[in-house]
């Protein structure tokens, strides 16, 4: 059977209501619900939830908060608050209620029954945004896989059709096989789709590995931009590389990795990767959708951690990024990790003077403030010190000079019978490589080794 026929069959197997059950659409309006446990981070998290809803295209009608020490086991919020929420849903004509924490399947069922409205949680909302914004084949497949893994334990009780028996009386002998319940049929369809997605993702990972190998053959230093979502990574990429990366003041504006080449200083080219932003409480099943991002971070020579210091919660954002790196990117047995250079972005958006408690380079990627200073610091971190020198290179090996002339770090000033006379700025390793093919210092010139 051809791949096209298999895909068509899978589309028929997974009915629309399974794929659309937890989706949010632009015509819906929401009430947001959260619990305050007694610290400021929950308030910022609720503001972030409103931004997530806006990113998904869902207007927020109201935000309802309850102070509790822990969630109610049956309904997340207390029974009285459920009644209050039901009244608000009816009065404001809300289509969906979005909770700021992941709901257990039983809690979601109880709330939907009480409110008679669609109920989703923060995890489902983030997954929905990924589904809307993913553009590469691999990202789309991975997001769908995450959604299906999330949906499986939540099938029971979502709609009367999920408890029908196929052509037989419910319960009793003979209700299996051809008469298996609709719930079991749905589960089987999802398992089929999951296995298909996993096979296709394995193939996509192989293709990504080939592209990655071609990129590493350039032998250019690699920089990965990391940071909390909407911290300004894409804007910084545009500043450093004169690129045209998509920029939007919304969470998860960038979901697919971008790689650009630029000279951080004249004659010093690098590759810079713009990666997916992190977020607090990132759904674990979505972590594989960051595959290209995580790979770029693991193999980079330098990480630029972009921090939005205009946010009151910027320190919590820093902790969220570092925790994600430790739990999802790096491993305890990693021998080498790329150094991290912290970039304190959006200093132009702060209302008061910024005195950071975190060491880093303060910039404004939007205004271009201190970008040249950042370039200099990057060059100092990535490139060894160079020494101006003059030498003679045999004619037959002038090809070895090409990388340096192309980068503007070397020039031929004359020719003689013994070879070309060259002036260049080289590190000790680069000079030793040229010496190996016959380069000789001019009289009175010093080598990089002598200058150190």
pLDDT tens, position by position, 184-213:
767 788 888 888 888 888 887 777 666 666
Whole-Å CA distances, 271 to 104, 328, 425: 43, 23, 21
Predicted TM-score (pTM) above 0.85: no
Q: Which two tokens stand for residue 440?
A: 């000789």
Whole-Å CA distances, 43 to 48, 98, 397: 9, 15, 66
Share of residues in the chain with pLDDT > 90 (%): 21
The per-residue pLDDT for 64 is 93
The per-residue pLDDT for 345 is 92
Q: Whole-number mean pLDDT of the chain? A: 78
Q: Is the dihedral of CA 410, 411, 413, 416 positive or negative?
A: positive
Binning pLDDT at 50, 70 and 90, where does residue 406 land? Answer: confident
Average pLDDT over residues 16-38: 68
259-271 per-position pLDDT tens digit: 888 888 877 888 8
The per-residue pLDDT for 444 is 54
The per-residue pLDDT for 296 is 78
Is the pLDDT at 177 greater than 50, yes or no? no
The per-residue pLDDT for 152 is 79
Q: Which two tokens stand for residue 79?
A: 């029974």
Binning pLDDT at 50, 70 and 90, where does residue 298 land? Answer: confident
Q: Which of 216, 219, 253 is nearest to 238 (CA)?
A: 253
Is the pLDDT at 342 greater than 90, yes or no? yes
Average pLDDT over residues 63-85: 92
Instruction: Choose between 209 and 238: higher pLDDT.
Output: 238
Q: Is the dihedral of CA 134, 136, 140, 146 positive or negative?
A: negative
Average pLDDT over residues 288-308: 80
Is the pLDDT at 434 greater than 70, yes or no? yes
Instruction: Choose between 89 and 145: higher pLDDT.
Output: 89
The per-residue pLDDT for 208 is 65
């Amino acid at each position: 059977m051809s791949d096209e026929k298999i895909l068509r069959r899978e589309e028929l197997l997974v009915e629309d209501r399974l794929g659309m059950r937890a989706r949010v659409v632009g015509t819906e309006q929401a009430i947001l619900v959260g619990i305050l446990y007694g610290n400021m981070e929950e308030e910022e998290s609720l503001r972030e939830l409103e931004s997530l809803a806006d990113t998904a295209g869902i207007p927020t009608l109201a935000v309802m908060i309850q102070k509790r020490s822990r969630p109610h086991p049956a309904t997340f919020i207390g029974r009285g608050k459920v009644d209050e929420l039901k009244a608000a849903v009816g009065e404001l004509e809300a289509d969906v209620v979005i909770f700021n924490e992941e709901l257990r399947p039983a809690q979601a069922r109880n709330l939907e029954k009480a409110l008679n409205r669609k109920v989703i949680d923060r995890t489902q909302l983030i997954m929905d945004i990924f589904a809307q914004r993913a553009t590469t084949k691999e990202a789309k497949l991975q997001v769908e896989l995450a959604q299906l893994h999330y949906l499986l334990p939540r099938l029971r009780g979502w709609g009367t059709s999920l408890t029908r028996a196929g052509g037989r009386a419910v319960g009793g002998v003979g209700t299996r096989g051809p008469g298996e319940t609709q719930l079991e049929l749905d589960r089987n369809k999802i398992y089929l789709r999951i296995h298909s997605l996993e096979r296709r993702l394995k193939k996509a990972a192989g293709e990504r590995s080939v592209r990655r190998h071609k990129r590493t053959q350039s032998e250019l230093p690699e920089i990965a931009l990391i940071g909390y979502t909407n911290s300004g990574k894409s804007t910084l990429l545009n500043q450093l590389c004169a690129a045209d990366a998509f920029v939007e003041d919304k969470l998860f504006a960038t979901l697919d990795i971008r790689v650009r080449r630029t000279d951080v200083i004249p004659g010093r080219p690098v590759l810079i990767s713009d990666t997916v932003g992190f977020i607090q409480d990132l759904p674990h099943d979505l972590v594989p959708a960051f595959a290209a991002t995580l790979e770029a971070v693991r193999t980079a020579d330098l990480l630029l951690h972009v921090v939005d210091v205009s946010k009151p919660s910027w320190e919590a954002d820093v902790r969220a990024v570092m925790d994600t790196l430790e739990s999802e990117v790096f491993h305890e047995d990693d021998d080498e990790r790329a150094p991290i250079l912290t970039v304190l972005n959006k200093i132009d958006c702060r209302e008061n003077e910024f005195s950071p408690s975190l060491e880093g380079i303060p910039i404004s990627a939007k205004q271009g403030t201190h970008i040249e200073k950042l370039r200099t610091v990057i060059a100092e971190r990535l490139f060894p010190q160079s020494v101006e020198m003059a030498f003679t290179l045999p004619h037959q090996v002038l090809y070895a000079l090409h990388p340096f002339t192309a980068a503007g770090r070397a020039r031929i000033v004359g020719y003689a019978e013994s070879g070309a006379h060259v002036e260049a700025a080289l590190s000790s390793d680069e000079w030793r490589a040229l010496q190996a093919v016959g380069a000789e210092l001019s009289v009175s010139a010093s080598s990089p080794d002598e200058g150190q």
